[in-house]
Amino acid sequence: MVSTAPMSTPEAPDHPATPPEPAPAPPGDEARGPTFRAGDPCAFLQPGQPAGHMTVLRPGRTANVRGHLLRHDDLIGRAVGDVVTSPQGGVYALVRPTLAAWTAFMPRFARALDPREVAVVLAHGDVFAGARVLEAGVGSGGLTLALLRAVGVGGRLVSYDVRATSLETAAGNVAAWFGGPHPAHVLREQDVYAAIDPRDHDLDRVVLDVPEPWRVLPHARAALRPGGLFVAFLPTILQVHGLCEALRDTGVFPEIATWETLQRRWHVGRRSVRPEGDMSGHTGFVTVARLVAAPMGARAAERVSDADQPEGAADDEAGHGAGGGAE
């Protein structure tokens, strides 16, 4: 027969265990919650209108969206995705801007990399959560924001620039986007051509937006872990050629690749489908090279590239084809 007597409950210990400290909330979108707070970026969307107007919500201010006035105090505390109507009759959806849209809107000291270029840096540069990354040539911090999102609070991003104004602008943009300074971010007024600070060694990635990245190679070789990646953005192909030659000559970057990304947006309507009138053409090149522990020959990367070409292409480059080389 099964007993129906209630089971005894174990007594609570005299000294209950102290609950673990809560983990710090990650900065950025994931920490902002489902409602808008003061200091949050906010975008106003209307169907059929061009890219939404953006602002940073501040108590006491008013947003002017194409002549429609919306008090920030009425928006703070609203849920993300809410639809509001202005006193002038305009209807808007309140959303958080994408990072790509925010980068185009934020205060800029210098031109920021386009989202298509940032995508190549992150994907082919293989920037992962927890990575230790050095960037130089910060500009206004557009790439900085994307790198911080990628490395997360468990990684580390060190940003070098010789211009104090650039560092100040980038720090402000980081704080505006993430709701304060990012715990994984370090800013230094440092010339990367001169040195990489020993405190910033043991890196997984070096990401450069400077005119002469080949001057950084001796420092990058000392600071990068074997297997790490060297990434550089350059606007002209002659700069790319100079960099690739310098990388090959070291003998320790056997894998080198360069990308140029062209982008065209399409209009897809109910009755017509067509490309947009303007196309995002050339802006620059992204070169990625992998460091190994020991030299593999000064022309190793070129031989690997030749092996991947269709039959006969290597002969053409050697001078047997119609085109001349750039040597």
Strands 132-136 and 203-208: parallel
* Residues 131 and 178 reside in one and the same domain: yes
pLDDT at 265: 85
* Residues 108 and 239 reside in one and the same domain: yes
pLDDT at 157: 98
Is residue 8 situated within a structural domain?
Answer: no
Is residue 214 situated within a structural domain?
Answer: yes
Of 97, 113, 148, the last residue of a domain is 97
- Is residue 302 pLDDT above 80, yes or no? no
CATH code of 54's domain = 3.10.330.20
Is residue 19 situated within a structural domain?
Answer: no
* Residues 81 and 129 reside in one and the same domain: no
DSSP annotation string for 163-226: -HHHHHHHHHHHHHHHTS--TTEEEEE--TTT---GGG-SEEEEEE-SS-GGGGHHHHHHHEEE
* Residues 82 and 160 reside in one and the same domain: no
pLDDT at 6: 44
Of 97, 131, 148, the last residue of a domain is 97
φ, ψ for residue 198, nearest 5 deg? -55, -25
* Residues 90 and 109 reside in one and the same domain: no
The three-state secondary structure class of 250 is: helix
Q: Are 101 and 34 in contact (CB under 8 A)?
A: no
- State the pLDDT confidence band at 299, using cuts at 50, 70 and 90: low
For residue 266, the enclosing domain spans 101-320
* Residues 65 and 180 reside in one and the same domain: no
pLDDT at 196: 98
- Is residue 316 pLDDT above 50, yes or no? no
* Residues 143 and 286 reside in one and the same domain: yes
* Residues 87 and 113 reside in one and the same domain: no
- State the pLDDT confidence band at 179, using cuts at 50, 70 and 90: confident
Is residue 327 situated within a structural domain?
Answer: no
Strand intervals (E) in 10-155: 41-45, 53-56, 62-65, 68-71, 83-85, 91-95, 132-136
What is the domain count for the chain? 2
- Is residue 321 pLDDT above 90, yes or no? no
CATH code of 171's domain = 3.40.50.150
Of 78, 97, 116, the last residue of a domain is 97
* Residues 76 and 141 reside in one and the same domain: no
* Residues 181 and 69 reside in one and the same domain: no
pTM of the model: 0.79
* Residues 123 and 61 reside in one and the same domain: no
Residues 12-22 pLDDT 10s: 344 334 444 43
Residues 58-113 pLDDT 10s: 999 999 998 899 999 999 999 999 999 999 999 999 999 999 999 888 888 777 78
* Residues 199 and 233 reside in one and the same domain: yes
Is residue 11 situated within a structural domain?
Answer: no
Question: Cα–Cα distance between 201 and 207 in angstroms, integer?
Answer: 14
- Is residue 129 pLDDT above 50, yes or no? yes
- Is residue 256 pLDDT above 60, yes or no? yes
Which tokens belong to 116? 């298509």
Residues 269-290 pLDDT 10s: 899 998 887 777 778 999 999 9
Interval 284-306 mean pLDDT: 77
- State the pLDDT confidence band at 309, using cuts at 50, 70 and 90: low
Helix axes 115-124, 142-151, angle to 10 degrees: 30
Is residue 271 situated within a structural domain?
Answer: yes
Interval 109-129 mean pLDDT: 90
Is residue 289 situated within a structural domain?
Answer: yes
Give me the chain's average pLDDT, please: 84
Is residue 12 situated within a structural domain?
Answer: no
